[in-house]
Amino acid sequence: MPRLSPRLIRHAHNANPLLKLLLPVCRDLESARNELRWLQDHAVGLAARSRNAPQTWQTRLQVMVRQRATGKPLQYILGTEYFGDLEIVCRPGVLIPRQDTAASVAHLAHLLQSNDCLPNRLRVLDLCTGSGCIPLLLEHLFSQSGDPPDLQLLGVDVSKRCLDLAEENKARCQARHAEFAQADVLATGDVSPQGQPLPALLKSRASPNWDILISNPPYISSHDFRKTTARSVRKFEPKLALVPPAGVSEIPDDGDLFYPRLLDVADHVHSKVVLFEVADLSQALRVASMAKKKGSWDGVEIWKDEPGAKDDSMVQLEQVVSGLKVLGRGNGRSVVCWRDQGARWLGRT
């Protein structure tokens, strides 16, 4: 990372001493100015809403700027982040939703809404739901289409803190079709030290079948977490959300731990479509190969960060890597599999 020049630091300080504190995390003056403006708006708003509290907005702003200067993500300080059009509440202990995830979910919703063969009732299971952003965005996107199916959305997470926040986000988004429940996705038997095993939760539901299975599981390998994950992510976001537990399996890439389990669950609940987020193209190719080896899918493809991106002639960007179709622009972001009616739901017939 290039060093900041003393001239730039002096310039920031002269403009506003708080800008100088923000400069090292923001890296350029324009970003620091933007963040200072957002933080100031937030501090003024908080002070106005709590008139009886002793702190002025100026004191609040100073505290927030100092927190930000330690690398604390802006979303944890401001308390929200956009996920598509939804403003999702963010809190330490729960992963901040990412725009790349929203882009995959929005593309899936777009494909599903582009055909008239969806069943009247569509059941979607989101494993590792975190803030609940994925089911909430799906409900929001479907609510905007003319004749939406009767959606049943279930978000599952092992963390009580995540589920509390997901419920809060549900109320904030006025969602009616999303539910959230606690379970350990990795647990296959009758017991789990982390709470209810997933099979017990699924057994307790009215129907054993889930048409679509989505998951953005912890997928960073312990090596990449140490060597390449950004310091602010390592320091402030929950490791439970990022890195699969160690010593649970012998698979060579420990970041891949959740995917065989997710593919087993997809078979168990007879999903017709799955969408799994991954870290990059290498992991996408490994996960796609796991799916192909199962032999239970009619089609497997990889989506990049912007899966619907088109070229200058408005033709969908598409390439073939190791025999697999890779769609869109950016890095490998998700693996999509389908079977039976799922092919028609995605327009893949």
The residues that touch ligand SAM, with contacts defined as CB under 6 A, are 95, 97, 101, 128-131, 133-134, 157-159, 162, 184-186, 216-218, 240-241
Residue 32 or 240 with smaller CB distance to ligand SAM: 240
Specify the residue, 64 or 220, whose C-beta has the smaller distance to ligand SAM. 220
Contacts of 263 (CB under 8 A, 6+ apart): 274, 290, 291, 294
What is the smallest separation between the CB atom of 95 and ligand SAM, expressed in angstroms?
4
Least distance in Å: CB of 44 to ligand SAM? 29
Q: Minimal distance in Å, beta carbon 186 to ligand SAM? A: 4
Detail the DSSP E strand segments found in 120-195.
121-127, 150-157, 178-182
Q: Are strands 324-327 and 318-321 parallel, antiparallel or unpaired?
A: antiparallel
Residue 322: CB atoms within 10 A of its CB come to 10
Per DSSP, the residues of 35-46 read HHHHHHHHHHHH
Please state the closest distance from residue 192 (CB atom) to ligand SAM, in A.
8
Q: How far is the CB of 142 from ligand SAM (least distance, A)?
A: 18
Q: Smaller CB distance to ligand SAM: residue 75 or 113?
A: 75
Output 233 or 317, the one with its CB closest to ligand SAM.
233
Find all residues with CB under 8 Å of 68, minimum gap 6, and list them.
21, 22, 25, 35, 39, 74, 77
Q: Please enumerate, as own/partner, the contacts of 34-38 that have beta carbons within 8 Å and a separation of 24 or more.
A: 35/68, 35/74, 36/65, 38/74, 38/78
How far is 140 from 68, CA to CA, in rounded Å?
Answer: 31
Strand, coil or helix: what is 224? helix
- Least distance from ligand SAM to the Cβ atom of residue 275, Å: 11
SS3 at position 276: strand
Residue at 282: amino acid letter: S
**C-beta of 12: minimal distance to ligand SAM in Å?**
33
Structure token digits, residue 129: 């739901």
Of 162 and 285, the one with the shorter C-beta distance to ligand SAM is 162
CB of 88 to ligand SAM, least distance (A): 8
User: Which residue, 159 or 324, is less far from ligand SAM as judged by CB?
Assistant: 159
Region for 126 from its dihedrals, namely left if φ exceeds 0, alpha if ψ lies in -120 to 50, beta otherwise: beta
Nearer to ligand SAM (CB atom), residue 43 or residue 243:
243
Q: Which two tokens stand for residue 349?
A: 């017939």
* Shortest-Cβ-distance residue relative to ligand SAM: 130
Q: Residues 293, 267: contact at Cβ < 8 Å? A: no
Q: Are 138 and 151 in contact (CB under 8 A)?
A: yes
**Closer of 130 and 342 to ligand SAM (Cβ):** 130
